Structure 1
Amino acid sequence: MRPERYSLSANIMTRASLLLAPVMLAGCFNDSPSAKFIDYQERIANVQESDLLPPPELTLVELPSKRELTKEIPRTTLGLVDSYQLRKCQLFGLIAERNSVLGKVQDQFRNFDYQLKLIDGLERCLASNQIELELKTSLQDILSVKYQYLPDYFFNLVYTSDAMRSQLNGHDWLVANKGSAALQVRESLTAFNQVAQFIATSDRATIERPPLLTPYQEQLEKSNVIGRLAFSLEASAHWMRTITNQLNTYDDQIICGKNRDSSRFKYLVNVFNNVFVEEVQPYLSYVDSEYQAIAQETQFVSALLSQSDANVYSLHQRHLEFKETSREHVKYWKGLFERCGRSLSSIRNN
């Protein structure tokens, strides 16, 4: 028979629920992946006949405030006479639109697209034989400034626009039974990545012009994928670290060997097969596959950060920690099975 401690006291469950309440913002408790981790740890503790280690404190994935992140960018202007000459190279209309009442209140997506259009227009005017040499000198200076600060325009767009903050902040889990969330925004992220590659390329004449980003704004604002992925990676890592600590802390409770009562080991093998292999590991694999699906497309998130900004947001670092905690967890099970003379053939490395 299995030990009778498989139902924990109500007060432990209540404390665990209260600690997790801030991050259960969507769906009922039992629908959350947290329920899988809670059940897994409880079953292990029951077999060990041990205390239940405190659940991890899960935190929301939140960017610093806009004020902390916004980079100041100097304004560049042209005199009215010089601006009029720009009709000859089809740039006057763009500048006039930007200086209109509506143009002056553009959101960051439209403002960034304006910077890309302006760069194209400036290069077109510099190549025109209808523009005076003196004006070309001024245009070249402006173009140099625009290229110099284009990374800052992009940084501000990614980290301070409402749409991208909605995309990057994470308050809830990815849910496997809803299919791949990554596919919803992959096209949008690819466009952002192309912009990042254009900015990072020194010889821009050799690279295709990046797409405008405003067409992707609504999708990125409404489909929170990167933030939920970041939350799921981080929260899963915290849970796996806690559960591995549970296993290691009370490992001496699991007895096996010749002429020893190995009942607890057999019960723990059942937990491994029925809970970890069937429930927890498939979810970890799902989260990992979601990361892999957009890993290349999310390089723009950190590609342009200076050294001082390195800790603003790192999906890659969260994934590394997620993988490390999964490996440490598997390492415990391998060690236990070896100690007890059993094969671990059913495990699927994450």
Structure 2
Amino acid sequence: MTRWLLPVLVCSLVACTDYNGDKALQNYQQRLERVLDISQKNTALPDAAAMAAQRDLKQPLPDIRLDLTDAYATRRCSLDTLIGERNSSLGKVYNASKQLSYELRFLSQLQRCLEQSWDNTTLLNQLQHVYQQKQHSIDIAFNNMLLTDDTLRKELLGIRKALPLKAAPGFSETWQALTELNQLQQFIAEQNWQAASQIDIEQQLQLLYRYNFIARLQYSLRTASHQLAQLNRLSEAKAPSALCPQQRDSEQLHILANVFSKYFVAEVQLYTSELSRYQQQLWPLLQQLYQHTDLHTPLTLRFEQTYLDMRTELSHHVKWWQTLNSQCPLKLTAQQ
């Protein structure tokens, strides 16, 4: 696609903290409507792809108990503290993330215990049986965290708040948190319980909760795609040839050139470029986390498909400007 290259003019509005990408697109549309002398009724933002309810995604963990008559084993393995933690009033109501953390710490401790020498083979067999059962159930605990944790759920549902035009706060922290969760997923796949138990799950979730970057990115992609589609309906209602009969210059064309450089290039293209950067770095991490879950399809629609739709609508809009520039004396500079 041919890219238009003009000096980026920084609008004073960009400095305002509440001037985000949505408002930039709305501002651009209003200015285009005035200069083209066209008004259109905007349509409502379509609903995002539906996601299954949390209650339908949660799976029960097998009730695995250490029924040891000899307390020596639990003390020797330092499992007595963990068992006490799980049986406490707080442990009985662990949410999905804390339950996963507990299961990983238990597996790590039990693995170290089994590496010791044991004279009591009956007790050893019992511990090995519990270890195998815990290994088989850890994927359920991990998926429960991915699918039902309140912080992650909020991020995946999205919030009605667009990202700023550039340098959105929280991007690097969100990338870090998703990278850590992917590392956790890898450690679990490798059955590296020691490394997995060292990852602070709550810290990563706190980073996601603090910035709501994924939720805002999702909403921003959806609204940008929708608003660009409306812009295309607006611009395509005006044939470029009608704006300059016999290629005559006019005040209207000068205003259009100013709208193009000051509001489309400096704001709209800047914003969509930032959204593309965020999407290209964060979506692969999300996709890796959720690829084998029931949420993979709706998340693909909410993120990747919406991103592709945005790029398509943006391309169509740039082509309208290219056609106008080729047929009218706008003198916009293009670079292949």
Please name the residue that 2:77 is paired with: 89
Please name the residue that 1:291 is paired with: 279
Deviations 1:185-216 (A, max 9, x none): 333322212112223x3x44599546131233
Q: Work out whether 1:214 is the aligned partner of 2:202.
A: yes
Q: Work out whether 1:182 is the aligned partner of 2:171.
A: yes
For residue 46 of structure 1, the aligned residue among 34, 37, 57 is 34
Q: Structure 2: where are the runs of 5+ without partners?
A: 1-15
Give the whole-Å Cα distance in 2 for the aligned partners of 1:253 and 1:45.
Answer: 17
In the alignment of these two chains, the number of paired residues is: 316
Deviations 1:21-72 (A, max 9, x none): xxxxxxx997343222122222323333333242442657985432132233
Deviations 1:214-245 (A, max 9, x none): 23343333321110111111111111122122
Deviations 1:255-297 (A, max 9, x none): 446x344545554333212210122112222333333454454
Give the SS at the match of 2:175: helix
Are residues 247 and 80 of structure 1, via their aligned partners in 2, closer, same or farther at CA, if it must alter by over 3 Å? same
Give the SS at the match of 2:101: helix
Return the letter of the residue paired with 2:149. Answer: S
Give the whole-Å Cα distance in 2 for the aligned partners of 1:251 and 1:29.
Answer: 37
Percent identity of equivalent pairs: 26
Q: CA deviation at 1:113?
A: 0.5
User: TM (normalized to structure 2)?
Assistant: 0.78
Comparing both chains, which one has the higher relative contact order based on Cα–Cα distances under 8 Å and sequence gaps of 6 or more? 2
Give the whole-Å Cα distance in 1 for the aligned partners of 2:240 and 2:332.
Answer: 20
Are residues 29 and 195 of structure 1, via their aligned partners in 2, closer, same or farther at CA, if it must alter by over 3 Å? closer
Which is further off, 130-139 or 69-78? 130-139
Q: CA deviation at 1:246?
A: 1.9
Give the whole-Å Cα distance in 2 for the aligned partners of 1:340 and 1:151.
Answer: 62
Please name the residue that 2:4 is paired with: none
Q: Work out whether 1:303 is the aligned partner of 2:304.
A: no
Q: CA deviation at 1:182?
A: 0.8
User: TM (normalized to structure 1)?
Assistant: 0.75
Listed as ranges, the matches of 1:44-123 within 5 Å are 44-57=32-45, 64-81=52-69, 84-123=72-111
> Contact 1:248–1:332 at 8 Å: present in 2 too?
yes
> Contact 1:73–1:149 at 8 Å: present in 2 too?
yes
Please name the residue that 2:13 is paired with: none
Give the whole-Å Cα distance in 2 for the aligned partners of 1:45 and 1:260.
Answer: 22
Q: Work out whether 1:313 is the aligned partner of 2:302.
A: no
Which is further off, 231-240 or 160-169? 160-169
Return the letter of the residue paired with 2:290. Answer: S
Please name the residue that 1:149 is paired with: 137
